[in-house]
Amino acid sequence: MEQVLQRVHTRIIIEVLGSPKEHAIETLQGYVARLREDKTVTIHKADYAEPQERDGLYAVFVELDMTFKDADHLLSFCFDAMPSSIEILAPTELNMQSKDFEGFLNDLQARLHTVDLALKQARAMTKVLDTNAMNVLHNFIVFALQQGPKSAEQLSKIVGIPADKIGHYLEQPIAAKKIKKEGTTYTI
């Protein structure tokens, strides 16, 4: 039995976050222009929102009224574009073969595993970088103290950490007996 493809009419919001503002706008507009060339998609309308600043970056949104050739193409689009929001306008019911749904679930699992692996690698790399940065800081403190005893305020000016926070960073080298605290002065 031949499967009849059901076109899927949607309203989708896509967001780009970037800087400078012009680059974020051009990136989103370029993406929509490439979508217009895709034969499996028809864009009926594209409404762009004004960019919004968020911590020095710019969020740019577009709401697309678009129709996909079928549910499979909609799902592929969702994996690739990762839209912020999807509303299916028509049809009100979607029929899918179990093998197609299995394929979707397997694709979803594969992508989730890929994201999970990337997250674990990023966490491991962050841990290594944090450890290395802390070692450099401790070495810098020891080097500064080789020039003579210093107060927390003096070390603060040398290493660039506020005086009220530097004590935390001195605890580990003290515990490791790399430096000593004598009153308010630190020495080797």
Segments making up each domain of the chain, as ranges: 8-91, 134-187
According to the model, what pLDDT value does residue 9 have?
97
Q: pTM for the whole thing?
A: 0.65
CATH of segment(s) 134-187: 1.10.10
According to the model, what pLDDT value does residue 3 have?
52
Q: What is the DSSP track for the chain?
A: -PPPPPPEEEEEEEEEEESSHHHHHHHHHHHHHHHHH-TTEEEEEEEEPPPEEETTEEEEEEEEEEEESSHHHHHHHHHHH--SEEEEEE-SS----HHHHHHHHHHHHHHHHHHHHHHHHHHHHHHHHHHHHHHHHHHHHHHHHHT--EEHHHHHHHHT--HHHHHHHHHHHHHTTSSEEETTEEE-
According to the model, what pLDDT value does residue 184 have?
92
Rounded average pLDDT per 10-residue block, the chain, 188 residues: 74 96 97 96 98 95 97 89 95 87 89 93 97 95 95 94 92 94 94
Record: fold of 8-91: Alpha-Beta Plaits (3.30.70)
